[in-house]
């Protein structure tokens, strides 16, 4: 998840917006997206016209606060793009120091508001960059903001953006507490991915229907329009990432064929193929039988020709 995110070929407006949420350094954004200064300035002007960024001064742009709502993106979001959201992260702490063991004392000394949570209500919880952060014994548990979204062309891209965000949160936590926490492992405990502007979800929203699909592991597919964004087909649960990627591919492939390639279509095709194979096999058998008959006839004709040749030779000898 390190390095550059994209070469900015598909959804560059969206990528520029995502970069602006992290940094207003245009040189860094240009390097991260591998685009020229002229192209970056073009996208910034377009985003400004759409009301998604504001220009504070020369060379200084910021994303507007309400552009996190998908409806504000308008035309720059493609149908069935991905909105990653509702993340919960666990970040293991590689080295448990005496300062960390005395974190409640540090909170009291720095006059940082906290609340004791957990089963025994002994774990301090504070807010960092608007997120609730549990300061557990050997790890951090971080809950993303309810309205925070990470837009990308696919679920993996959304996850990369979310991963960058958690590193910013941990850095802010270190600065707030005067610590040097270096997480050894960051894992996603919960993640949701929604196909936005999805035709099926739009239709179900229009009808006022709620769709919930579950299997033995729990609910994994949802259409409910709870945030009134309109048209989100959402993967949820522990395996949301693994479920979303093939579902997005299946949906887009099915749309490209106008949903003609159904199980019935495949079975019908298989039946037709079997019929063709049977016909070819039958023709081949007929050809083989005919060929064997022709071979016998040729052998017979050859024998008769040879016998006729012998008769003619004998007649010529008698002369």
What does the pLDDT look like over 294-307, one tens digit per residue?
556 656 666 666 66
Instruction: Give the pLDDT score at 274.
Output: 61
pLDDT at 278 over 70: no
Instruction: Give the pLDDT score at 65.
Output: 66
Give φ, ψ of 167 to 5 degrees: -65, -35
pLDDT mean over 41-52: 85
Token digits of residue 224: 């409910």
pLDDT at 31 over 70: yes
Secondary element (H or E) of residue 103: helix 103-109
pLDDT mean over 234-245: 88
Per-residue pLDDT tens digits for 113-150: 999 999 889 999 999 999 999 999 999 999 999 878 88
pLDDT at 287 over 80: no
On whether the CB atoms of residues 123 and 117 are closer than 8 A, the answer is: yes
22 torsion bin: left (phi>0), alpha (psi -120 to 50), beta (else): alpha
Instruction: Give the pLDDT score at 70.
Output: 45
Please state, in angstroms and rounded to a whole number, the distance separating the CA atoms of residues 155 and 248.
9
| Paired strand residues for 141 | 90, 134
| Confidence band for 253, pLDDT divided at 50, 70 and 90 | confident
Please state, in angstroms and rounded to a whole number, the distance separating the CA atoms of residues 143 and 86.
8
| Paired strand residues for 218 | 215
Instruction: Give the pLDDT score at 137.
Output: 92
Per-residue pLDDT tens digits for 66-122: 555 444 455 677 888 898 999 999 999 888 888 888 999 999 999 999 999 998 899
Instruction: Give the pLDDT score at 147.
Output: 79
pLDDT at 52 over 70: yes
pLDDT at 244 over 70: yes
Please state, in angstroms and rounded to a whole number, the distance separating the CA atoms of residues 268 and 134.
56
pLDDT at 20 over 90: no
| Confidence band for 17, pLDDT divided at 50, 70 and 90 | confident
> Among residues of the chain, what percentage have pLDDT more than 90?
24
80 torsion bin: left (phi>0), alpha (psi -120 to 50), beta (else): left
pLDDT at 222 over 50: yes
When the pLDDT of each residue in the chain is averaged and rounded to a whole number, the result is: 80
Please state, in angstroms and rounded to a whole number, the distance separating the CA atoms of residues 85 and 188.
11
């Amino acid at each position: 998840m390190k390095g550059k995110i994209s070469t900015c070929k598909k959804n560059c407006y969206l990528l520029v917006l995502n970069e602006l949420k992290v940094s207003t350094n245009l040189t860094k954004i240009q390097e991260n997206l591998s685009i020229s200064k002229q192209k970056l300035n073009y996208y910034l002007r377009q985003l400004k016209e759409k009301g998604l960024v504001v220009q504070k001064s020369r060379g200084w742009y910021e994303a507007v606060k309400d552009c996190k709502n998908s409806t504000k993106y308008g035309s720059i979001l493609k149908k069935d793009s991905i909105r990653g959201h509702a993340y919960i992260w666990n970040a293991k702490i590689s080295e448990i120091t005496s300062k960390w063991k005395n974190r409640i004392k540090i909170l009291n000394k720095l006059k940082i508001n906290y609340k004791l949570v957990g089963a025994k209500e002994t774990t301090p919880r504070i807010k960092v960059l608007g997120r609730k952060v549990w300061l557990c014994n050997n790890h951090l548990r971080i809950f993303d903001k309810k309205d925070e979204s990470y837009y990308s062309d696919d679920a993996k891209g959304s996850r990369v953006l979310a991963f960058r965000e958690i590193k910013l949160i941990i850095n802010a936590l270190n600065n707030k507490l005067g610590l040097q926490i270096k997480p050894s492992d960051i894992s996603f405990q919960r993640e949701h991915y929604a196909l936005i502007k999805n035709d099926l979800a739009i239709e179900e929203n229009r009808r006022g229907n709620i769709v919930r699909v579950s299997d033995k592991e729990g609910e994994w597919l949802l259409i409910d329009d709870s945030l009134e964004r309109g048209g989100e087909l959402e993967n949820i649960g522990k395996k949301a990432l693994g479920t979303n990627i093939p579902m997005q591919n299946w949906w887009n492939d099915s749309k490209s064929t106008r949903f003609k390639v159904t199980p019935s279509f495949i079975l019908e095709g298989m039946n037709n193929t079997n019929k063709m194979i049977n016909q070819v096999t039958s023709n081949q058998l007929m050809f083989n039988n005919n060929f064997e008959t022709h071979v016998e006839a040729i052998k017979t004709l050859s024998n008769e020709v040879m016998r006729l040749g012998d008769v003619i030779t004998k007649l010529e000898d008698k002369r």
